[in-house]
Structure 1
């Protein structure tokens, strides 16, 4: 998949609910949190059981979890009326600005 906006539209088209939830972003936002938890849980077990050595099978499992995470991000963006390409470009600008200002480390949104 080369085009993130096409991916976003395909993700939104594949969701099971379409507008019957009053606040449509809530369902995918909760799904996103759950998938991030699953990703973290897999990593935790790799560090606990394998001393952090990631096998090819682990890498495949993590790839699948990351795919689920991206799917939920894309659906959240869609229901909020945002384009994934705009989100990614804005994030790169934000990160570049932090590098230029020397504020990559630290905390807070406005660094």
Structure 2
């Protein structure tokens, strides 16, 4: 088995963030800014699933660098700040158990 070296071996591409909802967490792709919600269940396999909150961030330069994006909680249970650590751009990410209420907006 070949050993992986370099930046990819030191930094994980995906991170999971807690929400105030005990059944839902957010998964961030730190290279693209894509956010999905992970729902856990108690007894029923059907209650465990992943759904899209926002697709990758639309940017001027499509540089997929692991660790580029970070999520930060706000005082609002359903909103996080997504920060582009490369350029300093910030986005409001809203998650919900209702898919049509999820979204992402650039903070100008």
- Of structures 1 and 2, the larger Rg is shown by 1
TM-score by length of 2: 0.21
Q: Which has the higher contact order (CA 8 A, sep 6+)?
A: 1
Q: Judging by fraction of residues, say which structure has more strand.
A: 2
TM-score by length of 1: 0.21
Q: Judging by fraction of residues, say which structure has more helix.
A: 1
